[in-house]
């Protein structure tokens, strides 16, 4: 199948094509946000209720503010990373159901860019949700180390990037088998437990605790608690070490994930799953 494009498209540099691809997908997401404003508002309101739940629970049980912030930060990280993890698979499934996936693939850009571009807006809004949850906790009387916020945002960014890379593997599975949501849902639940969202991972049995270090959530939650709560006793790994591990994880998983996604697209094309 041959496609012809205007000469201006061919003359664009690779960097310009990348920027145009990101801009195009973000514009699509912004249009959908404007089309369904009630859904967007409810999405942000929904994250307030877990914060209220933990606040009233801590008040009723007379537990310390540190424990409230421990649960809040862990839950906020899970909520922020969830969109990065599931946004691509949800968007991809929706495009396949509507029959618009092929229109994305015929654009003159590398297919490996698609997973990143498709999920960039949902990843950003997911990070905003995490910040909103922590902000509500502060309004209810919680406290954080303000000077640690920039480094905490860096850790959150690395966590979002790592979950985007993991989402590429799930997206490749969906392309070939049309189903992948149960796999992602199971991983999300396991990551919430293994990552120590509501408790330190040292309370886990020793026979399963090792698995905690295989998921990026563990490093993000641990580093965020230490940075924002200003207490080394709330975690067991130095934040700088967590940042290094997350950076290495992002590089390796992104290279592997985008390669697998590209191979899955080409295989789906040869098998006739995609009509391009």
250 lies in some domain:
yes
Rounded CA separation 42/245 (Å): 35
6 lies in some domain:
no
pLDDT at 1: 41
111 lies in some domain:
yes
pLDDT at 150: 92
pLDDT at 151: 92
Rounded CA separation 259/108 (Å): 18
276 lies in some domain:
no
Rounded CA separation 235/233 (Å): 5
Which secondary-structure segment (H or E) carries 64?
none
Plot region of 107 (φ>0 → left; ψ -120 to 50 → alpha; else → beta):
beta
The pLDDT tens digits for 139-154 are 988 888 888 899 999 9
Local confidence band at 11 (pLDDT 50, 70, 90 cut-offs): low
The pLDDT tens digits for 15-62 are 677 777 777 778 877 887 788 777 778 888 888 888 888 888 887 777
Instruction: Calculate the dihedral angle through the C-alpha atoms of 121, 126, 131, 134, rounding to the nearest 10 degrees.
Output: 170
pLDDT of 207 > 80? The answer is: yes
CB 100 within 8 A of CB 274: no
Q: Which residue has the higher pLDDT, 80 or 63?
A: 80
The boundaries of the domain holding residue 265 are 14-270
163 lies in some domain:
yes
Rounded CA separation 243/232 (Å): 15
Cα 186 to Cα 85, 160, 213, 255, 256, distances in angstroms: 12, 18, 17, 24, 21
Local confidence band at 275 (pLDDT 50, 70, 90 cut-offs): low
Plot region of 3 (φ>0 → left; ψ -120 to 50 → alpha; else → beta):
beta
pLDDT at 71: 87
Q: Which residue has the tokens 């509501």?
A: 198
pLDDT at 91: 76
Q: Quick one: DSSP state of residue 61?
A: T
> Please, what is the Cα angle at 126 between 47 and 57, to 5 degrees?
25
The pLDDT tens digits for 146-204 are 888 999 999 999 999 888 888 888 888 877 776 656 677 778 888 888 888 888 888 88
228 lies in some domain:
yes
pLDDT at 245: 93
The pLDDT tens digits for 87-124 are 777 777 777 777 667 676 766 666 667 777 788 888 88
261 lies in some domain:
yes
How many structural domains does the chain have? Answer: 1
Q: Which residue has the higher pLDDT, 248 or 199?
A: 248
Q: Which residue has the higher pLDDT, 21 or 128?
A: 128
2 lies in some domain:
no
Rounded CA separation 45/52 (Å): 11
Local confidence band at 208 (pLDDT 50, 70, 90 cut-offs): confident
Rounded CA separation 140/137 (Å): 5
Q: Which residue has the higher pLDDT, 226 or 34?
A: 226
Q: Which residue has the higher pLDDT, 3 or 178?
A: 178
Rounded CA separation 236/152 (Å): 16
């Amino acid at each position: 199948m041959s496609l012809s494009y205007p000469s201006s498209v061919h003359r664009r540099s690779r960097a310009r094509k990348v920027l145009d691809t990101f801009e195009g997908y973000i514009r699509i997401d912004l249009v959908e946000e404007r089309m369904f404003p009630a859904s967007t508002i409810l999405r942000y309101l929904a994250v307030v209720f877990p914060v209220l739940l933990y606040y009233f629970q801590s008040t009723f049980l007379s537990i310390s503010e540190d424990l409230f912030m421990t649960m809040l930060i862990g839950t906020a990280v899970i909520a922020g990373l969830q969109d990065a993890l599931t946004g691509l698979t949800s968007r991809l499934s929706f495009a396949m159901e509507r029959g618009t996936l092929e229109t994305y693939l015929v654009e003159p850009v590398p297919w490996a860019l698609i997973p990143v571009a498709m999920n960039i807006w949902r990843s950003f809004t997911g990070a905003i949700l995490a910040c909103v949850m922590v902000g509500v906790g502060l309004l209810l009387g919680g406290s954080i180390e303000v000077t640690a916020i920039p480094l905490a945002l860096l850790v959150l960014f690395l966590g979002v990037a790592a979950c985007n890379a993991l989402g590429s593997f799930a997206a490749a599975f969906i392309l070939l088998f049309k189903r992948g949501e149960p796999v992602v849902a199971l991983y999300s639940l396991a990551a919430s437990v293994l990552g120590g969202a509501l408790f330190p991972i040292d309370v886990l049995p020793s026979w399963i605790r090792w698995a905690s270090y295989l998921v990026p959530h563990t490093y993000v939650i641990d580093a965020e608690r230490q940075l924002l709560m200003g207490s080394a006793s709330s975690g067991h790994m130095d934040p700088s070490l967590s940042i290094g591990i997350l950076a290495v994880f992002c590089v390796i998983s992104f290279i592997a994930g985008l390669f697998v996604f590209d191979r899955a697209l080409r295989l789906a094309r040869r098998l006739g799953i995609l009509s391009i």
